[in-house]
Amino acid sequence: MAEDEEELENEEVQEEKENKKAKVEEVEEEDKPVEDHKRIIPTEVSEEMKKSYLDYAMSVIVSRAIPAIEDGMKPVQRRILYAMQQMGLKPGTQTKKSARLVGDVIGKFHPHGDTAVYEAMVRMAQDFSLRYPLVYGQGNFGSIDGDPPAAMRYTETRMMPIAMELVEDLEKETVDFVPNYDSSMKEPNLLPGKLPALMINGASGIAVGMATNIPPHNLNEVCDAIISYIKNPAITIEELCTIVNGPDFPTGGSVHGDMLEMYKTGRGKLLVRGKVSTETSKNKEVVVITEIPYMLNKTLLVEQIAELIQNKKLKDVSDLRDESSKGKIRIVIELRKGASPEFVINSLYQYTRLQDSFSANFLALVGGQPRILNLRNIVEEYVKYRKIIITNRTKF
């Protein structure tokens, strides 16, 4: 019995010693410098900031703001069209709530805010924002006067016929599919892009340290330029410029500037003027504005003209009316008897945004890398991509 008690006492003493030893080791571990902890990697704050900022910059450039030369789409636009195709929102089918589409896009492909996705979709439906709208919108999708669109729960949408050209042959293994953000499904890295979307609809976007601002162009002219390049790969930029006469903005207007220099260098500054004509109404001269510069808020222009009249910079104006209807711009400026229409028109160009500038910067992703492109580069890269698509389709 005594031996058992002694053995038990020895075990307790031994256990107490082990506990003390463990506590001492724990204290020593805490007192060690940070570098001795295996899970903590010492690094300079400046180096970590440099790496993190570079990662963020490349993410914005590649994954958000800059379109691809191949299909002319930014990632959010590409995902919207792909989601619409997967939902069966094709031309001639019944429209579905925009909220449902936005939910599909952010839930499956684009893990960002619903507002950003909805705004991108709305812009794709506005005929004053895109030369060739890709989305058909039913309901209030905003106006050229700056009115905001209705909430996504009220509007409905489906694809426009022209958008089908971008997704045609998608199911024929023409493009690579990559895992989505949570690897639960796959999405196309690019669209087949039968439509030269980058040139005909243009693009604008601000990334980190760079920005793109490509004006829209006429579809017939762009297609003719592509055909001419296919027939003669040695065609010069000067020859292409005889086919592509210049930008073709959805809101109209005349374009002035060195087009050849812009198409040669990929950069340039253009002057865009609204279209103004004179009419006679009730024995009075009337100045009528029927086209305005691209991305100009029409209400803002009317307010600028009204301010000129109020400040007596336009003394010969007796009345100002906005007679615009859906899809048609008509701002009427009624003149007093004996007034000079030419003087009024020149004053409008001088003091209002009826004459505005457009800074072009033909920046796009080529194989995932940002590049400034001239007109020939754009046509060349597009034809090269379409050859790959047609080859893949043939193999399928």
Cα dihedral 314/318/324/329 (nearest 10):
-40
How is residue 77 annotated by DSSP?
A: H
The Cα 334–Cα 337 span in angstroms is 10
How is residue 134 annotated by DSSP?
A: S
The Cα 346–Cα 344 span in angstroms is 6
The Cα 73–Cα 79 span in angstroms is 9
Cα dihedral 174/175/180/183 (nearest 10):
70
Q: Strand 355-361 vs strand 203-206: parallel, antiparallel, or unpaired?
A: unpaired
- Both tokens of 220, joined, read 């017939």
The Cα 372–Cα 265 span in angstroms is 8
Among candidate residues 53, 56, 154, 181, the one labeled active-site is: 154
The Cα 388–Cα 98 span in angstroms is 34
- Where b means 16+ CB within 10 Å and e means fewer, 40-77 reads eeeeeeeeeeeeeeeeeeeebbbebbbbbbbbbbbbbb
Backbone angles phi, psi at 281, to 5 degrees: -135, 120
154 is catalytic: yes
How is residue 325 annotated by DSSP?
A: B
Q: Across the chain, which distance is largest between two alpha carbons, in Å?
A: 131
Alpha helices per DSSP H over the chain: 2-31, 45-60, 75-87, 98-108, 114-125, 164-167, 197-201, 219-231, 237-241, 259-265, 298-310, 341-351, 375-395
- Which residues does the annotation mark as catalytic? 154
